[in-house]
């Protein structure tokens, strides 16, 4: 018999629901909220008496669960295909983790924009949760507004609540109402992404000072952090890291530099070393240019692979630009982050001068809905005779 799993049964059910919702959102073209995922529980049936998964949907969902939990190490992956409820899936996953559970694997987009698997030992993930638990030991409850199956969600909303022995309320499909219900006098950690923080800043008039906001997966849009603090948020912590590395550092909003987490060590301008739970060190090359001041503090000076993070997903502006210029009516294009919205925007140069801008934008926008994922899709467009550049020929904003 193996060691008891570090992931409670209720959290296994949450992870299973989030992964299933993600898979069905892809195949059915509907959001998790539209699918009613906030009403799913252990009794939710998977067959035609419930969610009515077809054979391909069931296969995709069980494949995702297998990859995340390493069910193949227990020989459990095939059994999922015939089980009738979410709770049955969770029971088998719990058994698997108790027997062989040593790793979790997270999916992220790599430098090509294709899915990439990032494997971590559960003991290393627990080590990070322990670090945050020591840092925020006064926390009495956690509010999760992020998917639990990504590394940020797993550490902050699955492992950290267990470490602190505090409840975690999941509300990513109803963020503003969930947060409003959680407001009180007890110290509360609110786990969100920049996109969700932007939504909350627009939706809620004030925040009580007992709320400590945590943000990761990408930089905050310009002015957003200041606005949240002005509205009363007690503190805003920005976490720097990736699916490949876990968290590397953190800072209070407004600080220029991040603090390196204790088990990380700077080796050079391009390399770090991470000491794992077993005491062994692993050399890591971060995906960003890190400008160090001493050995424990650093600033992030831009991605080395050209990626941006939109809503927690890596997107690649150059790849999106190359997609846009495949349109016959588009001669040139540029894609960049809109710092005010946290989404992408695109500048289009039409193939022929005099092309009606509104007609071009409508055609390209409609096509993008099919050719790009929702996170890759530009949300605003501008049209002109040439791509904006500064006086030394570098791309300029518009």
d(CA 124, CA 281): 12
3-state secondary structure of 321: helix
Average pLDDT per 10 consecutive residues for the chain, totaling 398 residues: 71 97 90 94 97 95 95 89 96 93 83 71 97 97 95 96 96 92 90 91 93 90 91 96 94 95 92 96 90 93 73 83 91 89 92 89 92 91 86 66
What is the distance of C-alpha 157 from the center of its chain?
13
* Integer Cα distance of 319 and 95 in angstroms: 42
Helical (H) or strand (E) element with 151: helix 151-154
Q: What secondary structure does DSSP assign to 63-84, as a single string?
A: HHHHHHHTGGGTT-GGGGGG--
pLDDT, residue 315, reads 87
Please give the pLDDT value at position 392. Answer: 46
141 in Cβ contact with 167 (< 8 Å): yes
Give CA–CA dist 183/387, Å, rounded: 47
Enumerate residues 6+ apart whose C-beta is below 8 A from 181.
169
> How far is residue 365's CA from residue 361's CA, in Å, rounded to a whole number?
6
Task: Encode 169-199: b = buried (16+ Cβ within 10 Å), e = exposed.
Answer: bbbbbebeebbeebbeeebbbbbbbbbbbbb
Determine the Cα–Cα distance for residues 155 and 211; give it in Å rounded to an integer. Answer: 19
Residues 13 and 130: their CA atoms lie apart, in Å, by: 23
Residue 15 pairs in a beta bridge with none
Dihedral sign from CA coordinates of 242, 247, 252, 257: negative
CA distance 333 to 322: 8
- B/e letters for 234-262, b = 16+ CB within 10 Å, e = fewer, are ebbbbbbbbbbbbbbbbbebeeebbebbe
User: Vertex 88, ends 86 and 92: CA angle to 5°?
Assistant: 120
Which letter does DSSP use for residue 88 in this model?
A: H
**CA dihedral (143, 149, 153, 157) positive or negative:** positive
What pLDDT sits at residue 6?
79
Under 8 Å between Cβ of 318 and 336: no
Residue pointed to by tokens 């690649």: 316
Q: For the chain, what's the residue count? A: 398
End-to-end CA distance of the chain: 62
Q: How far is CA 154 from the centre of its chain?
A: 10
Closest listed residue to residue 220, CA positions, set 315, 304, 318, 341? 341
d(CA 282, CA 351) in angstroms, rounded, equals 50
pLDDT of residue 114: 53
Report the alpha-carbon distance of residue 386 to residue 384 in Å, rounded.
6
Q: What kind and span of H or E run contains 191?
A: strand 188-192
Q: For the stretch 368-394, what's the b/e string if a residue is b when 16 or more beta carbons lie within 10 angstroms of its beta carbon?
A: beeebeebbbbeebebeeebeeeeeee
String of DSSP letters for 326-368: TSTTEEEEEEEEETTTTEEEEEEEESSTT--HHHHHHHHHHHH
Cα→Cα distances 275→101, 127, 223, 270, 294, Å: 21, 10, 35, 17, 19
Q: Output DSSP code: residue 39.
A: G
pTM here? Answer: 0.79
Query: DSSP secondary-structure letter at 389?
Result: B
Q: Are the beta carbons of 273 and 281 closer than 8 angstroms?
A: yes
């Amino acid at each position: 018999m193996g060691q008891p799993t570090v992931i409670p049964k209720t959290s296994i059910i949450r992870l299973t629901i989030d992964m299933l919702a993600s898979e069905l959102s892809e195949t059915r073209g509907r959001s998790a909220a539209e699918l009613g995922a906030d009403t799913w529980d252990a009794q939710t049936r998977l067959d035609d008496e419930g969610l009515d998964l077809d054979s391909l949907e069931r296969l995709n969902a069980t494949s995702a669960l297998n990859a995340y939990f390493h069910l193949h190490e227990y020989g459990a992956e095939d059994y999922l295909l015939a089980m009738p409820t979410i709770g049955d899936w969770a029971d088998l996953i719990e058994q698997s983790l108790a027997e062989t559970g040593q790793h979790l694997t997270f999916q992220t987009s790599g430098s090509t924009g294709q899915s990439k698997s990032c494997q971590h030992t559960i003991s290393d993930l627990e080590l990070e949760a322990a670090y945050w638990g020591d840092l925020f030991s006064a926390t009495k409850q956690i509010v999760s507004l992020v998917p639990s199956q990504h590394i940020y969600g797993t550490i902050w909303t699955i492992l950290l609540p267990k470490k602190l022995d505090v409840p975690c309320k999941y509300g990513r499909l109803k963020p503003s109402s969930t947060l409003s219900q959680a407001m009180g006098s007890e110290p509360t950690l609110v786990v969100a992404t920049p996109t969700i923080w932007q939504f909350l800043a627009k939706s809620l008039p004030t925040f009580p000072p007992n709320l400590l906001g945590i943000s990761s997966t990408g930089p905050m849009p310009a002015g957003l952090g200041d606005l949240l603090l002005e509205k009363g948020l007690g503190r805003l912590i920005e976490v720097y890291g990736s699916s490949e590395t876990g968290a590397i550092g953190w800072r209070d909003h407004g600080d220029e530099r991040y603090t390196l987490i204790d088990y990380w060590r700077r080796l050079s301008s391009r390399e770090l070393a991470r000491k794992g739970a077993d005491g062994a060190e692993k050399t890591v090359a971060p995906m960003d240019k890190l400008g160090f001041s001493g050995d424990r503090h650093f600033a992030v000076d831009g991605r080395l692979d050209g990626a941006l993070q939109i809503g927690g997903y890596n997107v690649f502006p150059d790849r999106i630009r190359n997609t846009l210029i495949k349109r016959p009516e588009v001669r040139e294009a540029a894609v960049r982050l809109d710092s005010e919205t946290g989404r992408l925007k695109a500048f289009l140069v039409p193939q022929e001068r005099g092309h009606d801008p509104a007609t071009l934008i409508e055609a390209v926008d409609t096509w993008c809905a099919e050719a790009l994922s929702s996170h890759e899709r530009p949300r605003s467009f501008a049209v002109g005779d040439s791509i904006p550049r500064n006086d030394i020929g570098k791309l300029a904003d518009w």
